[in-house]
Amino acid sequence: MTRQSRLFVISGPSGAGKGTLVAQLRKEHPELGLAVSATTRSPRPGEVDGKDYYFLSEGEFKRRVAAGEFVEWAYVHGHMYGTLVKEVERLLAQGKSLILEIDIQGALNVKKVWPDAVLIFIEPPSLEELERRLCGRGTEDEQSIELRLKNAKHEMTLADDYDVCIVNDTVDRAVRELSDTIERYETEGGK
């Protein structure tokens, strides 16, 4: 069976579990490439520059925007985040399917540039569970959690614009659905 490399864009509300699912998926499928984004937010404890993000000052980020170095970029929860053209080209040149884990505005912008991109929405089982996960992660202060929850209510209404929607109820089940979805698009174009 022939397999076609594809660009998969994974997004959904902050705290829905995108990072958790992508990390598990890549353990099972190390052949999948993951584009490292750039951001102006500060690193969280344990995050490594060049691995989790390219951490840039706002001045440097804006300079790169002006130089046309981003496929897309957006203000998300008060900080700048963007996908670097170089990063995508490097991974696509390796002939790998590629994952972008980016916010919803960014995902819809990628689809405009790459109509073939497959947009996958990761949904939490409920807003109550989303709040539990954001609080449980312990990486944001109360104000930042509130902003993310407020944004989530609007973001959930945009799931219809996606090719696929996956509810992250349990990690194992959601990763299986994610992995099956990728397989289906690589082999049958998603039919």
In the chain, DSSP assigns E strands to 7-11, 33-34, 38-39, 54-55, 70-76, 79-84, 98-101, 118-123, 164-167
Residue facing ligand 5GP at closest CB distance: 106
Shorter beta-carbon distance to ligand ADP: residue 64 or 145: 145
Interface stretch with ligand 5GP, choices 59-67, 75-83, 123-131, 181-189 (CB under 6 A): 75-83
- For 104-140, the DSSP string reads HHHHHHHHHH-TTPEEEEEE-S-HHHHHHHHHHH--S
Q: How many CB atoms lie within 10 A of CB 59?
A: 9
Q: How many CB atoms lie within 10 A of CB 133?
A: 18
Judged by beta carbon distances under 5 to 8 A according to partner kind, the member of ligand ADP, ligand 5GP, none in contact with residue 6 is none
Q: Is 82 in the site for ligand ADP (CB under 6 A)?
A: no
- Tell which one of 103, 122, 168, 186 touches ligand 5GP (CB under 6 A): 103
Q: Which two tokens stand for residue 36?
A: 């490292």
Q: How far is the CB of 63 from ligand 5GP (least distance, A)?
A: 17
Q: Which helix (H) or strand (E) holds 143?
A: helix 142-155
Q: How far is the CB of 130 from ligand 5GP (least distance, A)?
A: 12
Residues contacting ligand ADP: total by CB under 6 A: 13
- One-letter amino acid at 173 equals R
End-to-end CA distance of the chain: 15
Judged by beta carbon distances under 5 to 8 A according to partner kind, the member of ligand ADP, ligand 5GP, none in contact with residue 41 is ligand 5GP
Interface stretch with ligand 5GP, choices 100-108, 113-121, 166-174, 183-191 (CB under 6 A): 100-108
Q: Which residues bind ligand ADP (CB under 6 A)?
A: 14-20, 133, 136-137, 168, 170-171
